[in-house]
Structure 1
Amino acid sequence: MIIDEKGKIFGKINIIDLLAVLIIVVSVAAVCFKFGFSAHKNVGSAGDEITYVMKIKAIRDISADALNIGDSLTEKTTKKKIGKIIDKRVEPAKEVVNKADGTLTGEVEIPERYDVYITVKGSGTANDTGYFLDGTYQIGVFSSVVFSSRYIETTGTVTEIK
């Protein structure tokens, strides 16, 4: 008989102990598969060029003038370089206004405020899980980025990744 009257296999191993060991082995195998042999492999390298467009909404003209083509940008929390400005477009800032009766008007220009679109080229990794600037800072469309240049610190929203 394989299991005796005390619940031991071959008189030596307890069934509960065997189940605990099997659970541990299966867990270790699952972790190894997920992080070592998973189908998610890089399709790019750290030297990839990532070009993206950010919108800085409703800033003053002095702030818009502080963003210049050629400026290097640094992400605020990680202090990592996230690229250089290669193009800039300035438009009058607009917003939709909610009237007192609850209806919305069309877009109305905000006086003395500007929306600035900057195109930034940075190096990083582009793979099947996303875009990572400087190999670590992940961006995506609609992600918010707090950054600084030589003259300004502000927040932009990624509107496009090329």
Structure 2
Amino acid sequence: MKLLDEKGRLFGLINLIDLLVLILVVAVLAGGAYKLTRPSGSGAGDAGEKATVLALVSNVSQYTVDAVTVGSTVYDPTSKGHMGKVTNAEVVPHRQPVPTADGPVLMAEIPARFDIFLTFEAVVTVTETAVRCASYDLRVGATVTLGSRDFMVSTTVLRVDL
């Protein structure tokens, strides 16, 4: 028995192009089924542990200060995973080193710029290697982007309390 017959059918059963189209349709259906049935992995619905995370939002304007409010729900803009709720937002003037005329460098307040110490409650998954929330490993010094309906900020994790 030949691989292709005189009509171009594979083993005399199905046309080669029809077979390729059939394989493509099955692959698309399998991919769609996988996407719909896989667990989300966002941490929102998982029965994980609660953690309190303190993060620093540095050198922002008054507009950002006004947008960050206690009670806001924050999410991971990359994975769209739920991260938690803002429980506290302490605003302090932004300070940075400024050289003086006589030589020493002093920490001076920068007008109209602020730092926000943002505390949020998160549902996390704790493993031997990391404390994970949405797509982030929450470690001191890690940069985490938080989004909400009203703001999106880049933060530096200062503390994670389980």
Report the TM-score range of the alignment, normalised by the length of the smaller protein: 0.5 to 0.7
Q: TM-score w.r.t. structure 1 length?
A: 0.65
Q: Is the 8 A contact 2:136 2:144 kept in 1?
A: no
> After TM superposition, where is structure 1 displaced by more than 4 Å over at least 4 residues in a row?
98-101
Match of 1:155 in 2: 154
CA RMSD of aligned residues (A): 2.0
Letter of the 2:141 partner, please give it. F
The Cα offsets for residues 128-160 of structure 1, whole Å up to 9 and x where unpaired, read as 2111014x4311101111121111111111111
Per the TM alignment, residue 58 of structure 1 is displaced from its structure 2 partner at its CA by 1.0
Q: Does 1:126 align with 2:118?
A: no
In structure 1, list runs of 5 or more residues that go unmatched.
Answer: 1-44
Residue correspondence of structure 1 range 94-133 to structure 2 within 5 A: 94-98=95-99, 105-133=105-133
1:124 alignment partner, SS class:
strand
Q: How far apart, in 2, do the equivalents of 1:72 and 1:104 lie?
A: 43
Are the counterparts in 2 of residues 83 and 122 from structure 1 also a CA contact under 8 Å?
A: yes
The alpha-carbon deviation at position 115 of structure 1 amounts to 0.3
The TM-score, its normalising length taken from structure 2, stands at 0.65
| SS of residue paired to 1:77 | coil
CA distance in 2, matches of 1:126, 1:51: 13
* Inter-CA distance 141–46: structure 2 relative to 1 (3 Å threshold): farther
Aligned residues with identical type, % of pairs: 26
Aligned residue type for 1:127: T
- 1:138 & 1:161 partners in 2: Cα distance? 11
User: Residue 119 of structure 1 aligns to a residue in which SS?
Assistant: strand
- Give, in whole Å, the separation in 2 of the partners of 1:48 and 1:89: 25
Residue 60 (structure 1) shift = 0.8
- Assess, with a 3 A threshold, how the Cα gap between structure 1 residues 125 and 110 changes in structure 2: closer, same or farther: same
Distance 2:62 2:117 in 1: 13
Q: CA 1:104/1:48 → structure 2, altered by over 3 Å: closer, same or farther?
A: farther
Contact persistence 1:96–1:104 (CA under 8 A): no
Q: Tell me which amino acid in the other structure corresponds to 2:144.
A: V
Q: CA 1:100/1:128 → structure 2, altered by over 3 Å: closer, same or farther?
A: farther
Q: What is the rounded CA distance, in whole Å, between the counterparts of 2:65 and 2:104 in structure 1?
A: 28
* Unaligned residue ranges in structure 2 (runs of 5+): 1-45
Alpha-carbon distance in 2 for matches of 1:98, 1:74: 39
Q: CA separation in 1, counterparts of 2:49 and 2:148? A: 22
Q: 1:100 to 1:121 in 2, by over 3 A?
A: same
Give the Cα separation in 2 of the matches to 1:99 and 1:149.
40
